[in-house]
C-alpha cells in the first residue's frame, strides 16, 4: 500500500532538491559577488549545494534505474545510497541551522530569508529521505534470503 507512494515521494524530493539548489546557490552567490560580503561562501552552504546535486543523482539511480536499467540496479546499493543521503541531509541541515542561528526577523534581507528557507527545505528533504530509507530497509528485510534456492532433499517430513 505504501509502496505506491514511493514514485510520488521521489518526484517531491527531486523538486525540493532543485528548490534547495536554487536557494543555496543564491546564498552562495552573495559571498562572491561584487555587491556581496566578499570572499568565499561558507562550507555549510557549499555542503548543502553538494547535497542537492548528490540527491538528484541518487534519485535518478533509485527512481529510474529499476525501471529502465534493471541489470545495474541493486537493492542494497539503493539502500546504502538512501542511508548516506539521509545522513548528509541531517548533517547539512543541522550545520546550516546552527550557522544561521535562531529564527530571525530578516527585515527584507533576501540572503537571510533564503538561508532560513534553505534550512527548512533541508529538513523536509531529510524527512523524505528518511521515509525512503525506512521503506527500503523494510523491503530489504522482507526479501532477504528469497534468492537462495532451497536444497532438494529426498527426506520425508519429520526425518
Please report which residue ranges of 33-109 form alpha helices under DSSP H: 43-68, 75-100
pLDDT at residue 150 in the model: 53
Q: How many CB atoms lie within 10 A of CB 141?
A: 8
CA 64 to chain centre: 15
- Confidence band, pLDDT 50/70/90 cuts, at residue 7: confident
Is the separation of the CB atoms in 30 and 37 below 8 Å? yes
> Using one digit for the tens of pLDDT, what is the confidence trace for 111-149?
888 888 999 999 999 999 999 999 888 888 887 765 555
Location of C-alpha cell 550557522: 99
Residues in the chain: 159
- Cα 126 from Cα 107, distance rounded (Å): 28
Between 31-35, 63-67, 138-142, 152-156, the lowest mean confidence (pLDDT) is in: 152-156
> Using one digit for the tens of pLDDT, what is the confidence trace for 16-34?
999 999 999 998 888 776 5
Location of C-alpha cell 541493486: 74
pLDDT at residue 63 in the model: 87
SS3 assignment, position 98: helix
- Round the CA-based radius of gyration of the chain to a whole number and report it: 21
Task: Note the pTM of the prediction, 2 decimals.
Answer: 0.82
Amino acid at each position: 500500500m505504501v509502496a505506491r507512494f514511493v514514485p510520488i515521494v521521489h518526484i517531491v524530493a527531486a523538486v525540493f532538491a532543485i528548490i534547495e539548489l536554487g536557494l543555496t546557490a543564491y546564498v552562495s552567490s552573495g559571498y562572491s559577488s561584487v555587491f556581496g560580503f566578499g570572499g568565499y561562501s561558507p562550507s555549510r552552504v557549499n555542503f548543502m549545494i553538494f547535497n542537492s546535486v548528490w540527491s538528484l543523482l541518487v534519485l535518478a539511480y533509485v527512481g529510474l534505474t529499476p525501471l529502465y536499467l534493471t541489470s545495474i540496479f541493486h537493492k542494497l546499493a539503493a539502500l546504502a545510497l538512501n542511508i548516506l543521503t539521509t545522513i548528509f541531509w541531517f548533517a547539512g541541515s543541522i550545520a546550516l541551522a546552527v550557522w544561521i542561528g535562531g529564527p530571525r526577523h530578516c527585515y527584507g534581507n533576501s540572503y537571510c530569508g533564503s538561508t532560513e528557507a534553505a534550512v527548512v527545505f533541508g529538513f523536509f528533504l531529510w524527512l523524505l529521505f528518511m521515509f525512503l530509507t525506512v521503506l527500503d530497509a523494510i523491503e530489504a528485510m522482507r526479501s532477504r534470503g528469497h534468492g537462495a534456492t532451497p536444497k532438494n532433499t529426498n527426506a520425508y517430513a519429520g526425518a
